[in-house]
Structure 1
């Protein structure tokens, strides 16, 4: 189901809001104005009756003056009678004084039957305004002041609001027109400030799979659009890097496969065609290149399986310090043949719970990397420290080092910091990628510290087995 575009969503939401707002105003003014006005007048007569009652009970000295003020304030008429229908106070001249005795008695009797108060609402057929009859409200309240019963009667009239309604109707038409114009302008502004930049970003984002996204500063109308632009631009840059890494991967794998295959093929043909070359030395070259091929293929398979989550760790308890001591012995050949110096600082024991073969693989990759990038110093320091229930293993070389901007990329497949300063190696170029995958599977901490012309230190950390 195709969704509406953002500009139409904005128009629909704001249009709906305006329609609801105008409808509510029209309903209140056209249909609820008269009932609400009547309710307020009823409240006014009851309030007047209560105030006058308090004045009677408190024996107000100038009761007529108090009644006048109250009546003026609430636009009401007040009449006070005794139980025998004798008028004691009030403001003369209103409809209460034109009320016949029978009608007075009827209101008082209804008040007595009703528990002390009675509200009488009726229309006056003798008075009309714009086709509507005047509505009269009479409120009767009985007061027992101890000596006698007093009757407080409060009257007010409700004039029809035809003229007011007509005036409001005319105003509401203009208000409706103004609201429609304002909502239209708001929709246009929001579309230009929000919808159009997002539409432009979306159109440009269609080029993202090719890594060709370019952020337009004109679309940075607000912070979220700017952040989206920056995120997509970073994604495009990552796609370009990933695409370049894919091409580099193919090129490097092809090169690493072709080189030993060429050596094997060349030496094989030479041994076949030249009987004098069929010797142990040439045969060893073929064996070495075959091993190199095996290492490369195994590393590719391992990395692929790890990234696909198809590798299961075989966790056991073992002594990491003993493991590293045994592994370092394998590198004695570099001391004898190439004058390497290995400085070792290991504790007596460091028991961990991990996959022994995979941790061995991690250490050997760090060692291979240190040897390849040791430069002319030919010195490598292997150290292990125990702290806070963890054991940290470090392999430090004194080579060219790694520029800070390249540190985050060294764990990528086939990433080469500087090919000029690397020694010849039979490694696959996937070592640090494999290290990352193995240590991530162990939820282990790892990293690298490096300074240019001072060397690099690769490390990983595992929790010790608590005795």
Structure 2
């Protein structure tokens, strides 16, 4: 359909002019209704009334010259044309015209008049170039019909009927269209000016420029659309910044181990070492950096699978206390090196339905971060308790605090709260991202708080069993 191919502005213009056309058409039909139904009906009723009244004055009398003179006098002073004849055949000499190109009186009309009924005659008279409304009334005497009265009135054209109203119609019509123009012009600007801006900025967004924002002047549908566009632009701009940051972080994480591997490999090829022990140290470094690269890539793939729901959980009953205890034992060496005190509050017999491997990964990553960023000779509090219908795993350490502005970004890929951390302590920033996704897949929640008075607390809440096993 061609209508569907029109632009929005063309559709509005077409709709506007269609509305005006329909209004004009309605006005025409309304005026025609006033003319045909009201004006013509009133004339017809008046003709019948005047004719019956005139004819009734002469019932049971004779149609004398005096009566005919009175009727003719009435013809002069009234707005009607009145013809009085003794016989119907004489009527054609006084009114020698056809009505609607037919004789004035036909046989059917004669029968009606003979029975004492009036006959209504209306139609176009070519000689007068007008429509007329008239009626023929029989005049009864003592011996029967003594004559006939034909009363008629030429009708004014519709422009004559409304001649006095035309100036008023012109004035009000002009005011109407002037007001309509002002309203449409304001509507046009309020509607299409922001839409044109929106189109321009949308084109800028398609070219990668997310910095433009639209001014919101009202709260209608256009205002809501503008607000949605600004929100979308904010989101795209943030995503673009984080994508650049992510790319930069990936490059940074890959460049350093590749530099180590390339440098030490070249040293071994050129035999730039002083002893077999030094060569073995180079090989150990290459192995270490290779493992680091492998872990980084595996973590990225794993995180992507978790976020895209490609990974299917192996759901089974998990004895959480034993799993957490086994995980804590993996950090015995690290915690001893930093002389950390682990304060445990672990409830026994806590069971959930979940993936044991993934839940242990949650425990491991959270504990790894807590130990890595704790102050030496400090303490770490580890809680695993039942709260109503859920299991709460909470770890609190006292070390480097996290800025409040950074807390919301904890769990983003490669995000680190301290950009100056070295490779030994800094990690890749993927650990908590994986924790958040595993928690989400298990229907749980992840939360982190960092206060100088309370330390940094990571809380993972998982849904427990409805009934204890």
TM-score when scaled to structure 2?
Answer: 0.69
CA deviations over 1:412-434 (Å, ceiling 9, x no partner): 21122223468833733212222
Of 200, 205, 210, the match for 1:203: 200
3-state DSSP of counterpart to 2:401: coil
Give the aligned partner of residue 13 of structure 1: 15
CA deviations over 1:72-124 (Å, ceiling 9, x no partner): xxx9999xxxxxxxxxxxx999368459799899799xxxxxxxxxxx99347
Structure 1 residue 457: Cα displacement: 2.2
**Which runs of structure 2 are paired with 1:273-284 in the superposition (5 Å)?**
273-277=273-277, 284=284
CA deviations over 1:261-286 (Å, ceiling 9, x no partner): 34445555666533332587665544
Of 199, 215, 220, the match for 2:217: 220
Give the aligned partner of residue 439 of structure 1: 439
Of 174, 177, 180, the match for 2:177: 180
Give the aligned partner of residue 448 of structure 1: 448
Query: Any gaps of 5 or more consecutive residues in structure 2?
Result: 61-110, 138-151
CA deviations over 1:191-245 (Å, ceiling 9, x no partner): 222211221232123222423432354x635555555444434433433333332
Query: Any gaps of 5 or more consecutive residues in structure 1?
Result: 46-74, 79-90, 109-119, 139-156
**Which runs of structure 2 are paired with 1:36-55 in the superposition (5 Å)?**
36-37=37-38
Structure 1 residue 337: Cα displacement: 0.7
Inter-partner Cα distance in structure 2 for 1:269 and 1:383: 49
CA deviations over 1:61-80 (Å, ceiling 9, x no partner): xxxxxxxxxxxxxx9999xx
Give the aligned partner of residue 120 of structure 2: 122
Inter-partner Cα distance in structure 2 for 1:175 and 1:436: 70
Inter-partner Cα distance in structure 2 for 1:370 and 1:158: 109
* Contact 1:14 1:183 (C-alpha < 8 Å) held by counterparts: no
Inter-partner Cα distance in structure 1 for 2:51 and 2:31: 35
Q: 1:213 to 1:97 in 2, by over 3 A?
A: farther
**Which runs of structure 2 are paired with 1:343-422 in the superposition (5 Å)?**
343-375=343-375, 378-420=378-420
Q: 1:230 to 1:372 in 2, by over 3 A?
A: farther
Inter-partner Cα distance in structure 2 for 1:289 and 1:14: 72
Structure 1 residue 331: Cα displacement: 1.4
Q: 1:373 to 1:338 in 2, by over 3 A?
A: closer
Give the aligned partner of residue 91 of structure 2: none
Of 82, 87, 94, the match for 2:53: 94
Higher relative CO (Cα under 8 Å, sequence separation at least 6) belongs to 1
Give the aligned partner of residue 189 of structure 2: 192
3-state DSSP of counterpart to 2:425: coil
CA deviations over 1:7-64 (Å, ceiling 9, x no partner): 444333222222212211211112x22454389879xx9xxxxxxxxxxxxxxxxxxx
Inter-partner Cα distance in structure 2 for 1:107 and 1:364: 118
TM-score when scaled to structure 1?
Answer: 0.69
